[in-house]
Amino acid sequence: MRKSILATGALLVAAGLAFTGCSAGSGGGGDTSAKVLTVGMPNGPQQPNHNPLATGSASLSLGYAYAVYESLMQVNEIDPTQDPLPWLAESVEWNADSTQAVITARDGVKWSDGEDFTAEDIAFSIQLRKDNPELNIDFPDQYGDITVDGNQVTVDFTTGQYVNQVKLYKLLIVPEHLWADQDPVNWTDDEMIGTGPYTLKSFTPQAVTLVPNVDYWGGKPTVGQLRYDAFNDNAGLTTALTTGDAQWGWTFIPDYESTFIAKNPEHYAQVAGGGFGVDVLYLNNETKPFDNVAFRTALNMVVDRGDISQTAGYGVWPEITSVTGLPQPSGDAFISDAYQGQELEVDVDGAKKVLTDAGYTYQGEKLIDPDGEPVTFTLTNPSGWTDYLDALGIIAEGAASIGAEATVEPIVQDTWFNDTIPFGNFQASLHWTDGGSTPWNMYSNIMDGASYVPLGETANWNFGRYRNDEVTQALATYKAATSDEERQAALDVVEQRFVEDVPGIIIWSRPAVAQYSTVNYTGFPTAEDPYANPQPTGPQAALILSKLKPTE
């Protein structure tokens, strides 16, 4: 039997006609042509690369790719248990073991150059990822045959994809008639021909402007113009949000209630949702000092997560307390029996004992490794990311408590995104993980041997280069399992190895947080109506834009 994700009639109407309630220039909502919605991101000036498939491109970094290109389905990452909403796909049907998906393409959709959107475009977009590993972050070496029959695409997978169904739903689709003759990895996609509600008007390294796609299948957009501004850091974006120069974005704002909300309580809001996403201190398992599990274990024992959450995170990012690293309450039902009730706590004396038992010694207060060398390392993250950098400072204090010298090194964001993280050019660096509807993504992003590549080669996940065949197999078993019992048994193995091997150090949970202003437009996700991840940098942007209406 197949699991079918179908639209009800009401959902189809809502999705297909969402933009028509108040068109730009129409009565009722007034002329919206002058009402610009400015989206801000703190990722610095961008290079002119609009490729929606290439990691690090400007269109993905600032988020405007998601207003031009669209996904197969809409997934509510705030509540992953909700059924997805059909979008470019009218339905997706999975077989019992999640090794095959049948996608039915939506009728009546056109690309912004007037060409018809078809099932062939879906098959082509998935085949691009299969043929180009650099673009295949979500299903590395896991695609089987991809075939088309009329308006349906059948995608076979080499392993079960129970945990990855939402990743298929979120894939952005590109037009075969334009991409077929291009190098999809290096093409900069200057015209951006998509199915989405907006088209590209202009680009500079600091600002990108989009205008409505008047022939959009969902109806003419009500937001008269979209502008994406690149700010150098969190502080720059915070200023823009508080002054109203940016009306939608996501950044870390210390004491956001007084810093941001209080500037305009009627119109300014910050919303956050749950899920399984976390921030993890990736440790380079293949270089000193983190090639020694004893040091990884000791550092984990002296990281004060409570202090980090309150001081660096101002309570916005909840503290992780379970030794399994699972965020709570989302992860409560997944904690192995062996680790129920076991919580993380700072234990300097215990950490020192772990080290001396493993052959480390001390010269005064200075920690010396078994090779006779002082233990030093660098903590690296982009300059301007104040919550991360403040967290690194507290981690460095923990390292000092066991005699290790840690230095916090802020670097250029573009370098971090495109060189430091993917190639493993770091000793320790904070980075997020995917969310998903189970803990699988979190652990896989940190530990999965299926994502392992040697240092110097591009890693999509497992940036710390952890390798353990038992864990790799358990993650594969979890993904292909057809029962909760089999999945939990596999997860027990993964959790044990996470606790005992410390491949990375999970710091805090990362709910989806966004800030917005309703001065010009209303309809954003709220705490009372969390219908989508509130951030503008994901496929959900098309759904959110469909719900925005000019403020009366």
pLDDT tens digits, one per residue of 330-361: 788 899 999 999 999 999 999 999 999 999 99
pLDDT tens digits, one per residue of 158-213: 988 988 899 999 999 999 999 999 999 999 999 999 999 999 999 999 999 999 99
**pLDDT of the residue at 78:** 82
pLDDT tens digits, one per residue of 125-141: 999 999 999 999 889 89
Task: Evaluate whether 375 touches 367 at the Cβ level (below 8 Å).
Answer: yes
* pLDDT above 90 (res 294): yes
CATH no. for 69-185: 3.90.76.10
* pLDDT above 90 (res 17): no
- Whether 278-509 and 198-273+513-539+543-550 are alike in CATH topology: the answer is no
- The domain limits of the chain are 69-185, 198-273+513-539+543-550, 278-509
Burial of 243 (0-12, 13-18, 19+ CB in 10 A): exposed
**Residue linked to tokens 């007084």:** 258
pLDDT band at 4 (very low <50, low <70, confident <90, very high): very low
pLDDT band at 34 (very low <50, low <70, confident <90, very high): low
* pLDDT above 80 (res 1): no
pLDDT band at 540 (very low <50, low <70, confident <90, very high): very high
CA dihedral 416, 421, 424, 427 (to 10 degrees): 70
Q: What are phi and psi of 539, to 5 degrees?
A: -55, -25
Least trusted range by pLDDT, from 145-149, 251-255, 458-462, 463-467 = 251-255
Least trusted range by pLDDT, from 84-88, 310-314, 355-359 = 310-314
Cα 437 from Cα 166, distance rounded (Å): 8
Which two structure tokens, joined as six digits, stand for 467?
């390798």
- Give the right CATH number for 198-273+513-539+543-550 from 1.20.1090.10, 3.40.190.10, 3.40.630.10, 3.40.50.1110: 3.40.190.10
> How long, in residues, is the chain?
552
Average pLDDT, stretch 56-76?
96
* pLDDT above 80 (res 18): no
Which stretch of DSSP H or E encloses residue 249? strand 248-249
0.85 cut: is pTM over it? no
For the chain, give the mean pLDDT: 91
* pLDDT above 70 (res 115): yes
**pLDDT of the residue at 394:** 98
Cα 209 from Cα 224, distance rounded (Å): 11
* pLDDT above 70 (res 22): no
**pLDDT of the residue at 25:** 31
Least trusted range by pLDDT, from 17-21, 62-66, 154-158, 365-369 = 17-21
* pLDDT above 60 (res 13): no
Average pLDDT, stretch 295-299?
98
CATH number 1.10.1060.10 is the correct assignment for the domain at 278-509 = no
* pLDDT above 70 (res 3): no
Which stretch of DSSP H or E encloses residue 199? strand 198-203
In terms of DSSP H, where are the helices of 221-312? 234-243, 256-259, 293-302, 305-307
pLDDT band at 318 (very low <50, low <70, confident <90, very high): confident
Cα 306 from Cα 303, distance rounded (Å): 9
C-alpha to C-alpha distances, 107 to 15, 65, 91, 119, 150, nearest whole angstrom: 13, 22, 12, 9, 11
Sign of CA dihedral 122, 128, 129, 134: negative
Average pLDDT, stretch 316-336?
90
pLDDT band at 314 (very low <50, low <70, confident <90, very high): confident
Cα 281 from Cα 395, distance rounded (Å): 10
* CA-angle at 385, arms to 402 and 230, nearest 5°: 165
C-alpha to C-alpha distances, 165 to 93, 108, 118, 187, 543, nearest whole angstrom: 10, 25, 21, 28, 19
